[in-house]
Amino acid sequence: MTQAAATATAASKIYGSGDSEVRALDGVTIAFEKGKFTAIMGPSGSGKSTLMHCVAGLDSLTSGSVAIGDTQLETLSDKELTTLRREQVGFIFQAFNLIPTLNALENIMLPLSLGGQEGDMQWINTVIDTIGLRDRLEHRPSELSGGQQQRVAVARALASKPSVIFADEPTGNLDSKTGGEVLGFMRRAVSDLGQTIVMVTHDANAASYSDRIVFLKDGKIAGEMTEPNPEKVLDYLKHLGE
Amino acid sequence: MFSLSLKMSLARKGRLILTSLAIILGTGFLSGTFIFSDTLSRTFDRLFTDVFRDVDAYVRSTNFIEVPFGGEQRAGTPIEALDSVLAVPGVKDATGDIQAFARIIGKDGTPLGSDNGPPTFGGIASASVAGLWNIEDGRLPNGPSEMVMDRSSAEKGDFVVGDTVRVNAQSGSREFTLVGIANYGDISSPGGATFALFDQQTASEFLLKPGFVDAFLIQGDGTMTQEELATAVNAALNPTLKLETLTGAQIAEETKDQIGAVVGFLSTFLTIFSLIALGIGCFVIYNVFSITTAQRLRENALMRAIGASRKQVTTTVIVEALIIGVLGSILGFVVGIGLSRGLSALLAAFGVDIPTSGLAIRGPRIATTIIVGTLVTLFSAVFPALRAGRVPPLAAMRDTAFERIGSRKFRFVIGAVIAVIGVAAHVAAAAGVNDWLLGVGVVCVFAAVIIYGPLIAKPVALMLGAPLARRSVTGAMARQNAARNPRRTAGTVAPVLIGVALVTAFSAFAASVRSEIRSVIGDQFGGDYAISAPQNGFGGLPIALSDEVAALPEVQQATGLGFGTVELDGEGRFVTVINPATASGLVDLNMVQGDQSKLSANGVVVSNNRATTEGWNLGDTLEMKFVDGTVKDLVIEGTFIPNGFFGSYVINREAFAGTTNSLFDSIIYVVMKDGVSEEDARAALGAVSEQRGLGTLQSREEFIDAQADQINQILGLIYGLLALSIVIAVVGIVITLLLSVFERRREIGLLRAVGMTRSQVRFTVVGESVITSMFGAVVGVVLGIGEGLALIGTLADDGIAAFSLPLGSTIVILILAFIIGVIAAVYPARRATRVDIMQAISTT
Ligand SMILES: Nc1ncnc2c1ncn2[C@@H]1O[C@H](COP(=O)(O)OP(=O)(O)OP(=O)(O)O)[C@@H](O)[C@H]1O
Ligand SMILES: [Mg+2]
């Protein structure tokens, strides 16, 4: 097994208490390998987003531990977590990914600018060329299509060469063609540029762009699959639903 | 629909409170003004009712002169007439009454009461029940070396019966033995004034003119009504003495009216500032409603989509405004109670010490406050409410708050038209067509700037934010945020802008007046030292003092300068009174024709302008009537160019000789002999002036500074009153920022997720706030300087010639605006840093 970019060990997350207690995560142990594209699937409410947020340092666990690279997140202060997110983690959300007052390029450079860094311009140029939006860099998000916005979000996530990129249903709001383009770029970011991506998705097609799929159910890992294709995934999901 | 709207607005308590804040402060100031002036009038009403309780009739001279700016000066009443009054059947008792200038000198040599404080009176204490004073300790004064003083002065000066007390008055400075301590009516001293009281004859010769009092207070024996008594007394008076008799009720009423006029002036002045504050509150309310309706666009669109009519959507906003207006005004009244105390304190700090006993809270005032507050709120909410109704149902499908700037072209044209009218009015006012055009001009220019606000907001915010943006990406975001909703920014900036413009205009005006005073006095005053009397209040330096100073061995030359009230050419006027024999070199009148040193006792020097407009020539005569009724024909012996200090008429102090009019010097200018050291000069001059409680001794520089700085007192008061407007403007910034932070919480969450630290979040909010406040300050300063220029241009013919830029105040204003921006951002920034990342990114 290659080295892990991010790991969760016996991770549990409980919302509320007593009768209204919800175990969003229930003792999840998992490692996301470096240089791989991992998908997380599972029924609605199974804890996918919760897992992702906790591993990414956006939310904290009730018990268990998570690490990005060698860094354990539990001991970090808010400031250290923020710095870690800025430098080691990339994010792509389903929607509202971009700051409306900044243009595409500024959005891409945002995590670097926040850290007061120049960034690796050669790398950033490669990323921009890969997503194919060089002629749109001066445009504001409101002047870009949904697909273009998501591509800018991918570029932003890649810009700081993070240890791992988390994407929560990045194509959830896109039609299948545009979604396919965005997923294609994510795939190339892993295969050609050596990045690590963890993506939550409901879509079997989207999941089949990944190297490995982890299935969650009721806050627990229900199984996994490597070298997925859409049919295999749909089959498995049907079987998981029973 | 009404109850639904009610429910909807009550569900948003936070916003309700925020919006109310502006109206609470605005109505608070208004009701504070109401309560304050009501309390004041009531206090004086009670006081005078009390004081004249035992006075059934009142005799005074019919000779008086209306003083410019209201009020009157009346001639004295001869004591000889008192016997004929006492002889009238039905008169039980009568006594003379005097209220003149007298200053009690404390045990340490400093006078009681400050130069700017309440007046210092001298008067009569007599056994008559009609007298105003009740002896508490000791006994009544009797003879030329005894006096009584009011209780609060005795306490302040630590005097007890038996002490020797020095008192200064018109006729000079004398020592008396304190034989008693008295109360005025039932209180220790009205309004913090000080009183030195003597027997009738002593008071007459020491305080006024031998043989005269101000009036007679008469008590009847109860056999006649006040009217019958007054008629009887009047019939007994020698008609050649030119006296009249009023009933006790009439004089009490007249006195109340006089005080009422002063209170009325004060309350008008305060009301103007509270209306300014309310107007500024309007902008804040308007802005809040604009923002919240924009933010609720989707909600409103949804209501439209599911079948609510335009009117119903508009109604919800109006109902909310109604609730805020009523609640805010009620709270505002409560705040006003506190503010009315604050107002007393503020005025006291600037030397206007006013007695208040218990606050006067009147029903009609409460009603007025609530009605005005509610109307103002409704008025401010009308346009946002209409806009809310106009939202297309389709907008429900669209994203976040967006804002359209109506028709830019329309705005541009309207603004231009109003601006042109404003500038034209300014030009006409400066050209001397009519001074009130200045008001029209000011209002139009402000209106034009505010109409243009949304058009210029974006470029100006971007420009002001440029230095921040160059710093860091957070600076760039602050700049973009300030520029992203031009209408919102303009609405937030407007109150700041108005407040700053007013402050700047007043500063510019004051700076010009100050430098004018400086150069005028510098030009005309050639002496080494000046002894000056307090400027406000009455009284001054005894006329004999200048001669006494001139006779000192150290002194080369000394001359007194005073101001008198006479009726000249049919109108009550202030005239400057000089002593031409000693004035040359010390008081330079800037003569055009004639020679000031040759001004005779029956001569007058008039301003060149007046002479030209009236067609007067040298040798023409002007009729001058003194307060005591003496009429003299004065010959025009010269013309001069006045400069704001000397007024338009100058006469010789000898003109007053042989009349019973009081005359004081305001200032004595002194030149020392060569070789007299500063130490010796101060010692010699101080001994006859300051150490006797007479005036203030100042060197040339000190004197010029002090004269120039007098304007600062008024300026300070104006700043104090404008401060509330500024507070409301700051509240406006806070509210806008809070609403913006709320609106952008998802964005902030996203930024936090991708690595923005809390302090960077704080920085963007502070940056936006500072850009906004600096926007208001910079435009306000420019506008204020422009208006200051216009004001001085318009008043130029009134003696203020040169405009001077208030550079110091401008810099202070800009620095303050920066600090205010930072302070306004504190709470919104904290809210921004507390945005929950998870909540922000998971809300869809
Ligand atoms: N803030 C919260 N408070 C209480 N319960 C929560 C909270 N957030 C999530 N949950 C609960 O935790 C469980 C897991 O939620 P999570 O969002 O991780 O699911 P998910 O797998 O991402 O679902 P979906 O596919 O619908 O996005 C759900 O039962 C949800 O109701
Ligand atoms: Mg989810």
Helical residues (DSSP H) of chain A, grouped into ranges: 48-55, 78-88, 104-114, 121-131, 146-159, 176-191, 204-207, 230-241
A110-129 pLDDT per residue, tens = 888 888 888 888 989 988 88
Residue B264 located in a structural domain:
no
Using the Cβ of B482 and the Cβ atoms of chain A, whether some distance falls under 8 Å is answered with no
Domain boundary among B694, B716, B745: B694
Q: Is B194 found in the same domain as B109?
A: yes
Closest ligand by atom to A14 CA? 1
Domain count across chain B: 3
A62 CB less than 6 Å from ligand 1? no
Q: Is B558 found in the same domain as B680?
A: yes
Residue B731 located in a structural domain:
yes
Domain boundary among B208, B241, B274: B241
| Chain B residues close to A100, C-beta within 8 Å | 484, 747
| Chain A residues close to B758, C-beta within 8 Å | 78-79, 82
Q: Is B520 found in the same domain as B551?
A: no
- The answer to whether the CB of B239 falls within 8 A of the CB of B226 is no
Q: Is B722 found in the same domain as B843?
A: yes
Domain residue spans in chain A?
35-48+77-239
* Residues in A 110-169 with any Cβ partner in B closer than 8 A: 110-111, 113-116, 156
- The answer to whether the CB of B516 falls within 8 A of the CB of B509 is no
| Chain B residues close to A101, C-beta within 8 Å | 477, 480-481, 484
Residues with C-beta atoms within 5 A of ion ligand 2:
A 49
Determine what percent of chain B falls in helix, strand and coil, rounding each to the nearest 5. Answer: 60, 20, 25
Using the Cβ of A210 and the Cβ atoms of chain B, whether some distance falls under 8 Å is answered with no
Using the Cβ of A49 and the Cβ atoms of chain B, whether some distance falls under 8 Å is answered with yes
Task: Quote the domain boundaries for residue B514.
Answer: 430-525+704-844
Query: Mapping DSSP to helix (H, G, I), strand (E, B) and coil, where does residue A110 land?
Result: helix
* Candidates B754, B758, B844; nearest CB to A91: B754
Q: Are strands A63-68 and A71-72 parallel, antiparallel or unpaired?
A: antiparallel
Domain boundary among B241, B264, B280: B241
The Cα–Cα gap between B760 and B741 comes to 14
Count CA within 13 A, CB hemisphere, residue B425: 20
The Cα–Cα gap between A216 and A230 comes to 18
In angstroms, the separation between the Cα of residue B838 and the nearest Cα of chain A is 7
pLDDT of residue A67: 92
The per-residue b/e assignment along B631-648, b for 16 or more CB within 10 angstroms, e otherwise, is ebebebbbbbebbebbeb
Tokens 């009726």 found at: B567
- The answer to whether the CB of B277 falls within 8 A of the CB of B725 is yes
Q: Is B635 found in the same domain as B560?
A: yes
Q: Is B551 found in the same domain as B447?
A: no
In angstroms, the separation between the Cα of residue B423 and the nearest Cα of chain A is 38
Using the Cβ of B753 and the Cβ atoms of chain A, whether some distance falls under 8 Å is answered with yes
pLDDT of residue B645: 64
- The answer to whether the CB of A213 falls within 8 A of the CB of A41 is yes
Interchain pair B837, A58: CB under 8 A: yes
pLDDT of residue B256: 82
Residue B161 located in a structural domain:
yes
Q: Is B163 found in the same domain as B118?
A: yes
In angstroms, the separation between the Cα of residue B779 and the nearest Cα of chain A is 25
pLDDT of residue B801: 59
Considering only CA atoms, which of B51, B62, B172, B191 is closest in space to residue B119?
A: B191
Closest ligand by atom to A48 CA? 1
A85 CB less than 6 Å from ligand 1? no
Q: Write out the DSSP string of B644-691.
A: SSS-SEEEEGGGGTTS----EESEEEEEEPTT--HHHHHHHHHHHTGG
Distances (CA, A) of B229 to B127, B128, B233, B303: 21, 17, 6, 79
Considering only CA atoms, which of B629, B627, B646 is closest in space to residue B638?
A: B646
* Candidates A93, A96, A115; nearest CB to B755: A115
Considering only CA atoms, which of B380, B383, B418, B373 is closest in space to residue B275?
A: B373
The ipTM, to two decimals, is 0.86
Name the DSSP letter for residue A3: P
Output the CATH code of domain A35-48+77-239.
3.40.50.300
Q: How far away, in angstroms, is A219 Cα from ligand 1 center?
A: 10
Using the Cβ of B484 and the Cβ atoms of chain A, whether some distance falls under 8 Å is answered with yes
pLDDT of residue B826: 92
Inform me whether the pLDDT recorded for A1 exceeds 50.
Answer: no
Residue B347 located in a structural domain:
no
Give phi and psi for B680, each to the nearest 5. Answer: -65, -40
pLDDT of residue B10: 56
Interchain pair A106, B757: CB under 8 A: no
Name the DSSP letter for residue B110: P
Residue B668 located in a structural domain:
yes
A47 CB less than 6 Å from ligand 1? yes
The Cα–Cα gap between B689 and B745 comes to 70
In angstroms, the separation between the Cα of residue A163 and the nearest Cα of chain B is 14
**Residue A198: band (very low, low, confident or very high) from pLDDT cuts 50, 70, 90:** very high
Residue B613 located in a structural domain:
yes
- The answer to whether the CB of A207 falls within 8 A of the CB of A235 is no
Lowest mean per-residue pLDDT among A32-41, A88-97, B355-364, B579-588? B355-364
Residue closest via CA to ligand 1's atom 28 equals: A45
Q: Is B228 found in the same domain as B82?
A: yes
Residue B357 located in a structural domain:
no
| Chain B residues close to A85, C-beta within 8 Å | 753-755
Q: Write out the DSSP string of B680-718.
A: HHHHHHHHHTGGGT-SEEEEHHHHHHHHHHHHHHHHHHH
- Which helix or strand (DSSP H or E) is residue B621 part of? strand B621-625
Q: Which residues of chain B have pLDDT under 70?
A: 1-15, 67-71, 113-119, 129-132, 185-192, 347-358, 393-407, 534-539, 643-646, 660-662, 693, 796-802, 842-844
Q: Is B715 found in the same domain as B645?
A: no
Instruction: Give the residue, out of A17, A20, A22, A168, with the most ligand 1 atoms within 8 A of its beta carbon, to mutate for a pocket test.
Output: A22
- Helices A104-114, B473-484: axis angle to 10 degrees equals 130
